[in-house]
Structure formats: structure tokens, C-alpha cells
């Protein structure tokens, strides 16, 4: 998808450098030390949102859990700009963004470095020949398993039914435990309904059901 031009984008991004992790690959294996240097209030766990969009979901979690750290990865510069501005606006010390697409999570994180991964409305890549590009394909799931601590989770939300069914099949193929799953999140009492993305709010207004699952590692 072609990015929409944003006025003064380069200058605005430059002013938000302190909220970006430019050389994230170099932090593999030492994220805890790095984040404690950034924020002495960080005491617990690190969570990653792959494709954080404009940052509403990321920021909401960071606000509610000040002792945890939330990292968003987003490769579209005009979009990550909005997330960075939102982090700054809310004066958060426990949220940062990696301004990049993460293709191989093991290039960025070592074994057991993360406590949770969020995949919200990932590109479904609907054509069968593109199945390996889906972020819930088994080749990605195996990488997530290695960088997540035991007892950690992957949470997935999508409006695409085919993508959701594919995801469940891939989880079973990888021997992963699906703790929670539903095809209509906002008709349940699951806590995942309480913090939403902008896409999610839009779909709710359109009365579009949201597929959700929580996978335990």
C-alpha cells in the first residue's frame, strides 16, 4: 500500500528520536539492561507488538502497566510517526518503537527475552501462494516460541476469518496450546476486549466481528 505523504515528516521524526530504537538488532540478548538504563522504573517484562500502527493499543498497555516495557515495531514511517507522537504526548517512559519491519524475530531478540507478542490485524496475505508471508505461518511461530519465556503468550486479533482459521491450524501443527479463542471477541467477557486498536474500533462500529486467540508458550 502506498504511504500517504505527511507534512514535515522527516523533521517530525527527527524530533522524536528518543522514542525510537534505530539499531534494535544490536540489542539482541541485552534488552533488559538497555531498557533499565532507559527507565529505572522498568522491573518486570518486555512485550512486543508487531505492526503497532498508530500506537493506540501499545500506549494503552504501557499506561496500565508502568513496570513493564512495551515495544512496537512498524515499518511505515508515516504511521510510526503517529505512534511516536502518541508516546510523547502521554509522557510514557516504558514504550518505544522500532521503525522497521521485523522479518526474522530471532535477529532482534534472544531466547527467553520476551514475555508476550501481540499480532493485531496483520496482513492476511489472502492468496494461497503467499501463505508463508503470514505472520502466523509456522516458520514465524517457531521463532516466536524461541524468543518467548515459558509461560508467555501470543495474542492475535483479526477481522479476516480465513486468516484466523489458518492461524489455528498452524498453532496446532506447531504443538502450541490455544488457551482462548473466539470468532466474536466483543460478545465475550475475555479481557482482550478491553484494550482495542483503531482498526478494531472501526470494525466494531461496522458491527464486524473480531476473531481472537491467545496462545500459550
SS3 80: helix
Number of residues that this document lists for the chain: 217
CB 210 within 8 A of CB 190: no
Spatial strand order in the sheet of 114-120: 95-98, 69-73, 46-50, 114-120, 148-158, 211-216, 177-182
Annotated active-site residue in 123, 159, 162, 184: 123
Q: Catalytic residue at 123? A: yes
Range 109-112 contact pairs with CB under 8 angstroms and sequence separation of 24 or more: 109/28, 109/31, 109/48, 109/147, 110/28, 110/29, 110/31, 110/147, 111/146, 111/147, 112/147, 112/148, 112/149, 112/150
Report how far residue 217's alpha carbon sits from residue 215's, in angstroms, rounded to the nearest whole number: 7
Helix (H, G, I), strand (E, B) or coil at 168: helix
Beta strands in the chain (DSSP E): 46-50, 69-73, 95-98, 114-120, 148-158, 177-182, 211-216
Catalytic residues: 123
Amino acid at each position: 500500500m502506498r504511504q500517504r505523504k505527511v507534512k514535515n515528516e522527516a523533521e517530525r521524526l527527527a524530533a522524536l528520536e528518543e522514542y525510537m530504537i534505530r539499531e534494535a538488532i544490536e540489542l539482541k540478548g541485552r534488552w533488559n539492561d538497555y531498557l533499565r538504563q532507559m527507565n529505572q522504573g522498568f522491573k518486570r517484562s518486555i512485550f512486543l507488538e508487531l505492526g503497532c500502527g498508530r500506537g493506540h493499543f501499545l500506549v494503552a498497555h504501557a499506561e496500565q502497566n508502568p513496570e513493564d516495557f512495551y515495544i512496537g515495531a512498524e515499518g511505515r514511517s508515516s504511521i510510526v510517526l503517529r505512534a511516536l507522537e502518541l508516546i510523547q504526548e502521554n509522557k510514557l517512559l516504558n514504550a518505544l518503537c522500532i521503525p522497521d519491519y521485523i522479518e526474522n524475530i530471532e535477529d532482534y531478540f534472544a531466547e527467553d527475552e520476551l514475555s508476550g507478542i501481540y499480532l493485531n490485524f496483520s496482513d492476511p496475505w489472502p492468496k494461497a501462494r503467499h501463505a508463508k508471508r503470514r505472520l502466523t505461518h509456522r516458520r514465524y511461530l517457531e521463532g516466536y516460541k524461541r524468543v518467548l519465556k515459558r509461560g508467555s503468550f501470543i495474542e492475535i486479533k483479526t477481522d479476516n476469518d480465513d486468516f484466523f482459521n489458518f492461524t489455528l491450524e498452524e498453532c496446532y501443527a506447531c504443538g502450541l496450546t490455544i488457551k482462548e479463542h473466539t470468532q466474536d471477541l466483543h460478545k465475550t467477557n475475555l479481557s482482550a476486549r478491553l484494550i482495542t486498536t483503531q482498526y478494531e474500533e472501526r470494525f466494531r462500529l461496522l458491527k464486524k466481528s473480531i476473531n481472537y486467540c491467545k496462545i500459550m508458550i
